Structure 1
Amino acid sequence: MAMSIRAALARTAGKSPYWPVITHPLLRRVLPGLGVSALGGGMTTVAVSWLALELAPADTRGAWLAATITAHILPGALGGVLFGRFLNGRSGPQLAGWDALLRTAVFAAIPLASALGGLSIGLYIALLGIGSLLTAWGKAGRYTMLAELLPAQHHLAGNSLVNVMLELSTVFGPLLAATVIAHSGPEHVMAIIAVTSASLAATYRFAIPSEAGGQGVKAGASPAAGFRAIYRNRHIVILFALSFGFFFFYGPVTVAIPLYVVDVLHASAATLAGFYTAFGAGAVLGALVAGHLQKWPLIPTTIGIVLGFGLGLIPLGLGVPTVVAWAAFALCGVIWGPFPTVTTTLFQRLAAPEILPRLLAARGSVMGVSVPLGAMLGAPAVHLFGARGTLLVSALGITALGVFAALFLLGRPAPARTPDDLTTTGV
């Protein structure tokens, strides 16, 4: 009886799109490190903002919070452009490992500076900026590694599985961060994040043999190679424009939600964690579903995600009770969940292996600019509309973006199908 049950479970698992990824001889060594590091990343959603609120002067918290969020993201966009010539010939695991190592050093420096009594808001922002310099290349390296190690038919499932772990971390990471903050302060959360990043750096260094890394970034390619690859393909141009607008309109939300919790609800870090945990729980579900979308047309799916996210965000701007707001944000998470998987799979399908790291780094640079730009507008938007009004404006902006993208797609004549046409791959 027991053997038949095990056999049935094995057959069921074998039919899952995730099974070839989980059982891959190299990826199964990397996945635990990715999971541990993802937990640390989930903790940053609360800890980075909360430490900034503690360090900043009370009368200018909005401006300092926007600057903190910008510093945590924007330098990664610059690094994606500036460091290309130094990263030629590097494999996906190398790129991702160096990003993890830099984050380890920076997040360890923050609690050390705090313990020595020298952590100011200015130094804190500077350290966050240094720590994000390789973010675009780290993300590019992660998904390049998947493309290097997995056959094309398993790319969607591989991307989805990694994104499930990333989204799952936003369920438990904020709660763990809020617990640590309540007992010992946000600077101690930074020390935990440093440990998780160190585990990921060690994983990339020792779990994957150097010869398994693939071609990496094409040696001698110009720093603008990734952007030229974007410009030459209209599908990528559409995807970039849609993604940029999506993240831009979401940028003010990253400022408005912490201020809404503190200034409107007069609540604690636990309430803020509730928002991010609700979102993360929904995103896990959405990311799990993404692995089963192999036959879906991916660009229309992306547009639908943007439109649905905007509609789901509207209740947060209407002043609904906190529990209802959590539920609405959880729905946003469900809708968002497939977005990283779908868009990354599109790039993996569109790019030649030797240019993929540059293309993904270029994407990271562009996306890394959009959120800080939106975040920089967050402080004046909160001043003009209040935290709740800013949430509503952002929701309406994302919704309008989805509507315009859908009208643009529907208004274009269907392209002629050829053997090389991207529409034959479900784009």
Structure 2
Amino acid sequence: MFSACPGRSVPGPYRALFADPTFRRLMPVFALSDLGDGMTVVAVAWLAFALGPEGGQGALAGIAVAAYVLPGALGALVLGRWMRRLPAQRLLVTDSALRAALLGAVPLAHATGVLTPAVYVGLLGASSLLHAWGRAGKHALFAPLLADDQRLAAHSVLSTSLWGATIAGPALAGVFAGVMSPAWIIGLDAATFAVLALQAGRTELPPSAAAPPGTGGTRHGLGILRRQPELLGLLVVTWVFNFAFGPVEVALPLFVSGDLQAGPGLLGAYWAAFGSGAVIGALALGAAGRLPLWPTMLAIIAGHGIGMLPFAITHSALPSLIGFAFAGLVYGPFSALSFTLLQNRAPADSLTTVLAARSAILLTASPLGAALGGLFLDRTGAPVMLVGCGALMILIVPAGAAAQKFHGVRRRRHRPSPARAERASRAA
């Protein structure tokens, strides 16, 4: 896939994309880092279960999952004055180096016997402080290099790498968890970020790609989002969608260990099934071309919610495995569609600040959902939590459709008729 001369068997959009040498050079290390993050999907929650007190494992798992993501929103808002001056490449390298150092401290603290729940949560939280800026740099890095018709394919490949890692990463973590502590799996993730920081720092970019991202801060990015109703509506719907998915990351490990009486291997199989479906969905989008935004987004959310409903069946893993794979299939195109819309609508010199502002908002959704889910998990049970997440996703669809219709009607009411516009032009 990363060969220097993409063959004619590769679809046209991807063939042109992989002809770019910078994309070919960086994409393998992105995939390696995604693989490390895929392993932490299992390792972070599983290590929290091992460290948590009896009867409070769910709460600690929710806090750990939140700590692994939520401080990135704070970093996007508080550190914007300094981070916005850095080019996209430097943002990516700085975030990767920080995560490599702090996540690498987790296995060291475990080996020396000082890995308490507080130390664990603190290291996870500090490692995510710059992650909103790192993600913004990753997606903004290629914007000056690619033509407009290549961006959807590029984001589809990035999404495919992420979901491909969701196949292999949890499966590897499930195997490794049988022979080593989850703390060392997090250490492997730290090593992948170290490789990413080294390779991204060594890669020479054209001047247009290495230029600073602009003068606006995160508040400037938020202002751009507020002024464009389409982007603002997409942001709100995505936030609620991510919030509804947050408890899944906490409830799924407990569903596997408690209701199914299985180990981390089956947990890895669930995430692998989800990732397999997402890879197919993401690649299909890149080859399909343009799709109507709002109908596609709402259909994705509804399909994802439907895929969560089989978790009500607790005597066998097969129905929920199939449902989770279907949820991944429909979710696969979501990220690529969102990032492509942002790149097409946001001003080029403010792209990283807009992406960082978007990440700052969205990074609060899933962790808050995970933290709340962890608090209720010990009282309600994993199957109820998982099915409830699916039901909430399904409820988002009519609410989003109604809001979109209301906005369309309001926009038409405020749009002047042709006759009125002509009279106003003559009067002027």
Normalised TM-score (structure 2)? 0.91
Alignment-derived partner of residue 229 in structure 1: 224
- Measure, in 1, the Cα distance between the counterparts of 2:390 and 2:402: 19
Structure 2 residue corresponding to 1:387, chosen from 364, 382, 386: 382
Secondary structure of 2:214 counterpart: coil
Alignment-derived partner of residue 187 in structure 1: 183
- One-letter amino acid of the structure 2 residue matched with residue 205 of structure 1: G
- Measure, in 2, the Cα distance between the counterparts of 1:154 and 1:91: 22
- Measure, in 2, the Cα distance between the counterparts of 1:48 and 1:75: 16
Alignment-derived partner of residue 424 in structure 1: none
- One-letter amino acid of the structure 1 residue matched with residue 275 of structure 2: G
What is the aligned length? 407
1:369 has 2:337 as partner: no
Secondary structure of 2:8 counterpart: helix
After TM superposition, list the pairs within 5 Å mapping 1:5-404 onto structure 2: 10-13=7-10, 15-209=11-205, 211-219=207-215, 221-319=216-314, 321-404=316-399
Change (3 A) 1:16 1:317: farther
Post-superposition CA distance 1:97-152 (Å, at most 9, x none): 11111110012111111111111111011000000011111111111012122111
Post-superposition CA distance 1:166-195 (Å, at most 9, x none): 110111111111111101221221221111
Q: Would the aligned equivalents of 2:81 and 2:217 in 1 still touch at CA under 8 Å?
A: yes
Alpha-carbon deviation of 1:322? Answer: 0.3
Root mean square deviation of aligned Cα: 1.8
Alpha-carbon deviation of 1:320? Answer: 6.1
- Measure, in 2, the Cα distance between the counterparts of 1:148 and 1:104: 28
- Measure, in 2, the Cα distance between the counterparts of 1:48 and 1:179: 15
- Measure, in 2, the Cα distance between the counterparts of 1:329 and 1:379: 20
Q: Which moved more, 1:81-90 or 1:389-398?
A: 81-90
Normalised TM-score (structure 1)? 0.91
- Measure, in 1, the Cα distance between the counterparts of 2:151 and 2:206: 21
- Measure, in 2, the Cα distance between the counterparts of 1:246 and 1:56: 28
- Measure, in 1, the Cα distance between the counterparts of 2:38 and 2:378: 28
- Measure, in 1, the Cα distance between the counterparts of 2:41 and 2:70: 16
Change (3 A) 1:340 1:278: same
- One-letter amino acid of the structure 2 residue matched with residue 173 of structure 1: G
Mind listing any 5+ residue stretches in structure 1 that lack a counterpart? 1-8, 419-427
Alpha-carbon deviation of 1:317? Answer: 3.2
- One-letter amino acid of the structure 2 residue matched with residue 358 of structure 1: T
- Measure, in 2, the Cα distance between the counterparts of 1:162 and 1:311: 26
- Measure, in 2, the Cα distance between the counterparts of 1:43 and 1:122: 22
Mind listing any 5+ residue stretches in structure 2 that lack a counterpart? 1-5, 416-428
Q: Would the aligned equivalents of 1:168 and 1:284 in 2 still touch at CA under 8 Å?
A: yes
Post-superposition CA distance 1:186-225 (Å, at most 9, x none): 1221221111111111111012337353433213x24410
Q: Which moved more, 1:186-195 or 1:37-46?
A: 186-195
- Measure, in 1, the Cα distance between the counterparts of 2:359 and 2:266: 30
- Measure, in 2, the Cα distance between the counterparts of 1:193 and 1:323: 29
Q: Which moved more, 1:163-172 or 1:86-95?
A: 86-95
Alpha-carbon deviation of 1:319? Answer: 3.2
Alpha-carbon deviation of 1:289? Answer: 1.0
Q: Would the aligned equivalents of 2:99 and 2:128 in 1 still touch at CA under 8 Å?
A: yes
Alpha-carbon deviation of 1:251? Answer: 1.2
Q: Which moved more, 1:167-176 or 1:184-193?
A: 184-193
Alpha-carbon deviation of 1:318? Answer: 4.1
Alpha-carbon deviation of 1:407? Answer: 3.2
Secondary structure of 2:272 counterpart: helix
Change (3 A) 1:189 1:67: same
Q: Would the aligned equivalents of 1:310 and 1:395 in 2 still touch at CA under 8 Å?
A: yes
- One-letter amino acid of the structure 1 residue matched with residue 302 of structure 2: L
Alpha-carbon deviation of 1:65? Answer: 0.8
Change (3 A) 1:151 1:261: same
Identity, % of aligned positions: 33
Change (3 A) 1:188 1:91: same
Alpha-carbon deviation of 1:55? Answer: 1.1
Q: Would the aligned equivalents of 2:76 and 2:218 in 1 still touch at CA under 8 Å?
A: no
Alpha-carbon deviation of 1:259? Answer: 1.2
- One-letter amino acid of the structure 1 residue matched with residue 338 of structure 2: T
Q: Would the aligned equivalents of 1:215 and 1:354 in 2 still touch at CA under 8 Å?
A: no
Alignment-derived partner of residue 400 in structure 2: 405
Secondary structure of 1:148 counterpart: coil
Secondary structure of 1:184 counterpart: coil
Q: Would the aligned equivalents of 1:87 and 1:217 in 2 still touch at CA under 8 Å?
A: no
- One-letter amino acid of the structure 1 residue matched with residue 163 of structure 2: E
Alpha-carbon deviation of 1:296? Answer: 1.2
Q: Would the aligned equivalents of 2:63 and 2:374 in 1 still touch at CA under 8 Å?
A: no
- Measure, in 2, the Cα distance between the counterparts of 1:254 and 1:317: 17
- One-letter amino acid of the structure 2 residue matched with residue 241 of structure 1: V
